Every structure is written in structure tokens, then in C-alpha cells.
Structure 1
Amino acid sequence: MTMIPKQIDSFLASPAFGVVGASSNPHKFGNKVLRCYLQHDRRAIPVNPKESAIEGVTCVSSITDLPAEVKSISMITPPAVTEQLVPLAIAKGIENIWMQPGAESPVAIALCRQHN
């Protein structure tokens, strides 16, 4: 699924971003996405149930623990995990979900479309 400019603008307008699947391994995409936000002076909160901090930023263990100012999340998780987490994001009031390459699945995309 491709994003149109209006969707990208809406995603980037969030005051803060959740990075779901953030990794402490600098070679993994979950770390690279987090660093990209930070390098562009964006407030990013890593979501990782096993880490206390990544790149010096305190982690939350679940999407449900993200602060209310987070309106957009990047998902860097396996498709089966993405499918489980999208309903939590929707219930939390996350407005924009960007499934990074390899995180998407038809089920997760359908869930997002139902709540758009």
C-alpha cells in the first residue's frame, strides 16, 4: 500500500512518535528508524518490552503505555505481531500507523482501513 502526501503530512504532524519494535542493535531496522527520528529532532518513544532504554531514550513496554501526545507510530515487527498490535493502537487512539517494510500483512492493513 502506498501512502499519499496527505497521509504522510498527517503522520509527520504528530508531536511525538512511537517506534514499535525498536531495537538496541544498531544494525537492525528498529534501531535505524528510532535514530532517524532522533537525528531529525523528533520526539520518539521506543516500544520494547525487554529494554529499559534504547539510544538513551526510555522505553515503554507496550503501545498502551505511550503518552497521549503520540498520534503516529512506526511498526517494525513481524507481520503476525503487527496483527496483534494494530487493535491496541486503534484502541489507544493512534491516528497514523506506518508499517515498515516486512511488518505489514493483509489482516493488519484491513484493520487499519476499517478504522480510518
Structure 2
Amino acid sequence: MSDLPASVAAFLAGKRIAVAGVSREPKLHVGNAIFKKFTAGGYETFAVNPNATEVEGVKCYPALGAIPGDIDGVVIATRPEMAASVVRQCVEKGVRRVWFHRAFGAGSVSPEALEAAKSAGIETINGGCPMMFLEPVDGGHRFICRLLQLFGKVPR
């Protein structure tokens, strides 16, 4: 997509991205697809799952604090009840941008997580999927993005 929403462009301008919620069962979770898309796009991407030491053939970190160096952004692709914990880790790590994954339903968004991010001054994207914006965007994600934009569920 050539005309990215400002919040999306700012998030994608970062080069070190963590994906919280990458699963040991790659076919069962969207976090793995997001992780692979960022990695394929040339980003330095970090998998985060407290219950895994390796996913997708690479080291997996138990928490954001275990990742060496700064992180430009975090995609939260966890269950909503885990999102606030990830936001608190973002605050501790100094992460300034968070993308809460959501296509339909609650996704990874929770009121507690949104409030924690807002209180900390973290810039958030509250819905949608980075795969709707990371080129090349497949037809399915392009269609869902347009549909969700009509209903105000993803950044415009």
C-alpha cells in the first residue's frame, strides 16, 4: 500500500520489532505469520513467548526485557488477558510503539492494556494486522484491510 496511515508508517519505520505471542505450534497462531513477514521484510525480528526457547528455527525470548538492545516496536499477538502484561514489559524496556493485533473480535486488545499504554505515553495501533500493510500484501489481507477500514477497525 503506497499511502500508509501515519501510525502504521511510524511503526514500520522501526527496524527492530518484537512479536509477543509467537507460538511453538506455528500453524495455530497468527503471531508466527507476523513474525515471518517482518523477518522476510528485512526487519530484525524477535520472537517472544515465555514458554518457548526456540520458534520458527530461531531463539525465542521469554520476555521483552531479555532481548538485548532497544526495540522500536512490539506487535502484541497474545490473548487479550496477556496484553497488559506485555504493555508493562514495553514500559520497562522503553518501547514507544505497540500494535495490538486484531482482525475480528477482541484480538489482542484489552481495556487494561490500552489504559496502561495510554498512561505510559506509548503510541498504539489498536487493531488490524501488520500483514495488511507490509509489502507485498496478499489479496486476502488487502481485502480484509479495506473491509475493516470501512468499519473503523484498522488505521486509515
- Give the TM-score normalised by the residue count of structure 1: 0.87
Q: How many residues align?
A: 113
Identify the residue that residue 12 of structure 2 maps to in structure 1.
12
Q: Using the TM superposition, give the Cα deviation of residue 58 of structure 1 relative to its aligned residue in structure 2, in angstroms.
A: 1.0
Cα separation, 2, equivalents of 1:11 and 1:67: 20
Following superposition of structure 1 onto structure 2, how do residues 37-76 of structure 1 map, counting pairs within 5 Å?
A: 37-76=38-77
Distance 1:84 1:69 in 2: 19
Equivalent residue for 1:103, pick from 87, 101, 108: 108
Matched residue of 1:97: which SS?
Answer: strand
1:92 aligns with 2:58: no
- Percent identity between matched residues is 25
Amino acid at match of 1:15: K
Structure 1 segments unaligned to the other structure (5+ residues): none
More relative contact order, 1 or 2 (CA 8 Å, 6+ apart): 1
User: Counterpart amino acid of 1:68?
Assistant: G
Aligned equivalents of 2:8 and 2:18: distance in 1?
Answer: 15
Over alpha carbons, which structure has the higher Rg? 2
**Residue 112 of structure 1 aligns to which amino acid in structure 2?**
A
Q: Which sections of structure 2, spanning at least 5 residues, go unmatched? A: 122-156
Do 1:47 and 1:60's aligned partners in 2 also have CA atoms closer than 8 Å? yes
Tell me whether 1:32 sits opposite 2:33 in the alignment.
yes
Aligned counterpart, 2:120: 115
Q: TM-score, with normalisation over the residues of structure 2?
A: 0.66
C-alpha distance in structure 2 between counterparts of 1:17 and 1:46, whole Å: 9
**Match of 1:13, as an amino acid?**
A
- Could you say what secondary structure the match of 1:59 adopts? strand
